[in-house]
Structure 1
Amino acid sequence: MNSHLFPHIGKVIASTGSRHFPRMLHDLIRTQLAVDATHIRQMRVESVVARSEPDPATEAALLAETLFCEHSDALPPVPATTATDASQLHLTRRKDGYRYVISVYRNDQSERFSARERSLLQDISPVLLPMVEKHINALQPLDNDPQSPATTPESSGLETLRLRFNERLQQLGLKLSSRESEVCIGLLAGQTAPELAAQLQLKVNTVESYLKRAAIKLGISGRHSLMKWMYSPQHSSATGVA
């Protein structure tokens, strides 16, 4: 995975459960290939195994979000039946009785995705699909409990990122100081060392020192290795490009 993707990935993770997530995900995908719309959805997996694999473009969704590029003014709403008129790709993931799908579309049917573009999207699918799953799951408690206290998109996303970071530490039996953890989480969220220094009221070299200490404990070499450590898939899942 290209290292230039890591700041984008951090921003997507930090926006989990917020209205900014579709835009961040869309922008991340567009660093790899040109698309006019990105659509994410969750469907319940039917227990009937005998039937053929459903079409991700037309399968009924329990929850769905669509984002269009600003310059796109011709693409119809997705997943309407006319969505099949556009060039499209679908990534799918099954987990706990649900199917999570990321679909990308182009306006012009003649601009079909090449084999290389399909491969580029497939390469980042182990990162994209779990993020969509976490985003959709983060939305559902808010929908089911209207009395729950309101949170800002930024605090919700950072809390999700913090929880995931702590889960990774627990899985590996590692411990960091609170400052080391905050620096790592901030970098994973796409912040720079100067931005973190201002936020934490520290010097930039102090922030870098905390990162070096954390890197030694985590057995990594720096910021890019931190991103790989955080976002590498931990479990194999059924994923594919349609």
Structure 2
Amino acid sequence: MNASPSITPLSVGQLAALSNALGPVVDSAGSSRFLGQLFDCVKQFVDCDSLHLQRARVTPRDTRARRIEWIGSYAPDHENLQRTMEKYFGSFADRDPLNDRVSDAPHGELIHRSAQTIEDTELRCLIYDVANIHDECVVVRPSNGIAYSLSVCRARRLPAFSLYELSVLKHLGQVLLPLAELHTRMVGVPLDDNVNKIAPADVLQAYLTRRSILLSSRETSVCSAFVKGMTTVSIAQAMGVKESTVETYAKRAFAKLGVSSRRELLSLVHGHEATTAA
């Protein structure tokens, strides 16, 4: 008779801590609360000051074919973070060697980078120094030809990540990155094959976070689809619901946002985008 496989026992307290940390992240997938819940979850295991999600096509070391997209970021000072990330994706994402490693990762990988080791002085000064970031840990997980990455950063108030903390983040990322992929699919943002860009969903996310507006996952999906220019018919087909159901979600979301039409939504969100980028 074969022996039972070896199982590492976990205490009830450990299981409770894990479920309490991950539960809100799972529940918020597809909604405007996701990034904040993700940040809170990570901080329960490893202290940090900001986190970032992005994805990129996995390419055979061909930077011309590399396409990077910012899914979103979170920090207590979200407005300044938003401006910094817009600057990064506008001027530095293409030339940052870290993104070569992310795009080329054939399997899950952990990358640890100190700001002091960044040879690009402009990148270091205008992105890392401005945000007061000195240490960064990036966990990468390829999925169906796309590399999803979670970057966790520390400001100078905290020491560099220890080997134990890096190990925790590596294992935690293998759970959180599939949730990030699920969140992105629920929001409904396809990866653009032509340009590096800030995802339209994040423009909406920035506005919702700034105004502390909470939409349901379905309301967020509909509004995000509107921001991308999708029609009510195409949204209904993508969500597998009736057009009237999409209109109901839109009506509820518009009431929370204080708008009465899709045009007003676009004006509201893109007006905020122009303000934060200025």
TM-score, structure 2 length as denominator? 0.45
Q: 1:72 to 1:123 in 2, by over 3 A?
A: farther
Find the partner of 1:18 among 21, 24, 31: 31
1:61 aligns with 2:68: yes
How far is 1:37 from its partner? 0.3
Q: 1:163 is matched with which residue?
A: none
The runs of 5 or more residues in structure 1 that have no matched partner are 53-58, 154-242
Q: 1:36 is matched with which residue?
A: 49
Equivalent residue runs for 1:96-111 within 5 Å = 96-108=144-156, 111=159
> More relative contact order in 1 or in 2 (CA 8 Å, sep 6+)?
1
Return the alpha-carbon distance in structure 1 between the equivalents of residues 156 and 62 of structure 2.
32
Equivalent residue runs for 1:154-165 within 5 Å = none
Q: Which range moves more in the overlay, 63-72 or 126-135?
A: 63-72
Between Structure 1 and Structure 2, how many residues are aligned?
Answer: 145
Write the deviation string for residues 78-106 of structure 1: whole angstroms up to 9, x where unpaired: 37234445211001111112110100111
Question: 3-state SS of the aligned residue for 1:111?
Answer: coil
Find the partner of 2:163 among 101, 104, 115: 115
* Cα-Cα RMSD: 3.2
The runs of 5 or more residues in structure 2 that have no matched partner are 1-9, 89-122, 190-220, 236-245, 254-278
Equivalent residue runs for 1:93-242 within 5 Å = 93-108=141-156, 111-140=159-188, 142=221, 143=225, 145-147=230-232, 148=235, 149=246, 150=249
TM-score, structure 1 length as denominator? 0.51
Q: Which range moves more in the overlay, 116-125 or 71-80?
A: 71-80
Return the alpha-carbon distance in structure 2 between the equivalents of residues 25 and 98 of structure 1.
20
Q: 1:138 to 1:130 in 2, by over 3 A?
A: same
| Between structures 1 and 2, the one with greater helix share | 2
Return the alpha-carbon distance in structure 2 between the equivalents of residues 22 and 73 of structure 1.
16
Give the ranges of 4+ consecutive aligned residues of structure 1 lying more than 6 Å apart after TM superposition: 71-76
Q: 2:259 is matched with which residue?
A: none
The share of aligned pairs that are identical, in percent, is 22
Question: 3-state SS of the aligned residue for 1:113?
Answer: coil
Aligned-partner residue type, residue 100 of structure 1: Y
Question: 3-state SS of the aligned residue for 1:112?
Answer: coil
